[in-house]
Amino acid sequence: MKELIAKLQETQTLAKAEWITLLSQRTPDLTEELFERACRVRIQHYGKNVYIRGLIEFTNYCRNDCYYCGIRKSNRNISRYRLSCEEILSCCHEGYELGFRTFVLQGGEDPWFTDQRMAHLITLIKEHYPDCAVTLSIGEKEEASYRLFREAGADRYLLRHETFHPAHYRHLHPQELSASHRQQCLFTLRNLGFQVGSGFMVGSPGQTPEYLAEDMLFLKKLNPHMVGIGPFVPHHDTPFAQEQAGTLELTLYLLGLLRLMLPKALLPATTALGALSENGQQLGILAGANVIMPNLSPLQNRALYSLYDNKPNTGTQAAENLAQLCEKMNQIGYKIVTDRGDSLVY
Ligand code: SAH
């Protein structure tokens, strides 16, 4: 098994059967070996720098009905909000003062934010903060919309493929959404010159080592600049309320594997990882991650962007507590940097 890890590091790829073996026969010994290698590779490319992104969750209206997600349209039990342009700019202002040089605009698929409104918003942010990167995470759109966003100045786009396998995708999403369309969007975004982030939930209902192996093969083929993975965590008002959460261990293991497969990728230690354990994000960094995305949304809205239960938005997950996060990174020998943190392969 250790030979497989060595082979992955050397060739940055594996066959499907080899992935399945690695994913289904995880041991503490193997994990330790993996994290050591992953950290070495990450240090080789990025040193001990940890990049930060200010996450602005600007709308929780959504026209989609993903079975896992707490802001799905069928959930009538949450109050909905959308931030005004002024509120979003004020988040950016606060973030800029704190040292953030990337703003991530994430939201449900909210028709109120038409392409024109989005383009206007992006233009304004880039005018005010020309030295900052703007990342969008607003789901599946037509190529013309993505092009408009790019022309308005958006630099990056996060769109997790969620799961590669069509039947598994169908298990997680309603009929009108498809794995192939989502994947197509990712290639379109790449071709338009975005730095692209994909990814998936770990331990989502019905996930198997075989499906995860296919996720790894898909990511190898897409070769994205960023990969966001985090454990699935159930939300009480969704069809998956009674399902088991994904584990910290498997998420960390996958982060290590991703670091070896895509050595120069930007890999966030995600909020959901922090939801499973107080030290989740520190452990994520020690498994090979190099990005953290603290919450920069207005305080009164944070709890309403409830993708899953007990989603953290205080402590080191809150942008205003950046000093605390710096301290936590220092504790493990890493350093938060104020830098756009662009992809090395871009
Ligand atoms: N509407 C945007 C943003 C979605 S929210 C889009 O479609 O891309 C961002 C990510 O949160 C999703 O891609 C999904 O992987 C994750 N997420 C949603 N519900 C979750 C849950 N219950 N547990 C863990 N992660 C979840």
296-318 confidence digits (pLDDT tens)? 999 999 999 999 999 998 888 99
CB count in 10 Å sphere of residue 304: 15
Predicted confidence at residue 59, as pLDDT, reads 98
In the chain, the percentage of residues whose pLDDT exceeds 70 is: 100
Per-residue pLDDT reduced to its tens digit, 189-202:
999 999 999 999 99
Minimum CA distance residue for ligand 1 atom 10: 160
Nearest-atom index, ligand 1, CA of 272:
24
Q: What is the mean pLDDT of residues 160-171?
A: 98
Q: Helix and strand tally (H, E) in the chain?
A: 14, 9
Cα 179 to chain center, whole Å?
18
Report yes or no: 345 and 264 within 8 Å, Cβ to Cβ.
yes
342 pLDDT exceeds 80?
A: yes
Phi/psi at 271 (5° precision): -55, -40
Predicted confidence at residue 161, as pLDDT, reads 98
Half-sphere exposure of 229 (CA within 13 A, CB side): 33
What's the rounded Cα separation, in Å, for the pair 199 and 267? 10
pLDDT band at 341 (very low <50, low <70, confident <90, very high): very high
Identify residue 43 by its one-letter amino acid code: I
pLDDT band at 178 (very low <50, low <70, confident <90, very high): very high
Q: What is the mean pLDDT of residues 19-32?
A: 96
Predicted confidence at residue 253, as pLDDT, reads 98
CA of 69 to the centre of ligand 1 (A): 6
- Give me the residue label for tokens 């991650």: 289
Apex 316 CA angle, 313 and 320, nearest 5? 80
In the chain, the percentage of residues whose pLDDT exceeds 90 is: 97
Q: pLDDT averaged over the chain?
A: 97
Minimum CA distance residue for ligand 1 atom 19: 69
Predicted confidence at residue 346, as pLDDT, reads 75
CA of 63 to the centre of ligand 1 (A): 14
Task: Give residues (CB < 6 A) around ligand 1.
Answer: 68-69, 106, 108-109, 137-139, 159-160, 162, 201, 230, 232-233, 235, 272, 307-308
Report yes or no: 96 and 132 within 8 Å, Cβ to Cβ.
yes
Q: What is the mean pLDDT of residues 159-176?
A: 98
Per-residue pLDDT reduced to its tens digit, 201-255:
999 999 999 999 999 999 999 999 999 999 999 999 999 999 999 999 999 999 9
List the structure tokens of 110: 């909210």
Nearest-atom index, ligand 1, CA of 233:
23
Predicted confidence at residue 196, as pLDDT, reads 98
Which H or E run includes 55? strand 54-59
pLDDT band at 153 (very low <50, low <70, confident <90, very high): very high
44 pLDDT exceeds 80?
A: yes
pLDDT band at 345 (very low <50, low <70, confident <90, very high): confident
Mutate to test the pocket of ligand 1, among 55, 307, 309, 311 (most ligand atoms within 8 A of CB): 307
pLDDT band at 7 (very low <50, low <70, confident <90, very high): very high
Minimum CA distance residue for ligand 1 atom 18: 69
Predicted confidence at residue 314, as pLDDT, reads 87
Per-residue pLDDT reduced to its tens digit, 248-280:
999 999 999 999 999 999 999 999 999 999 999
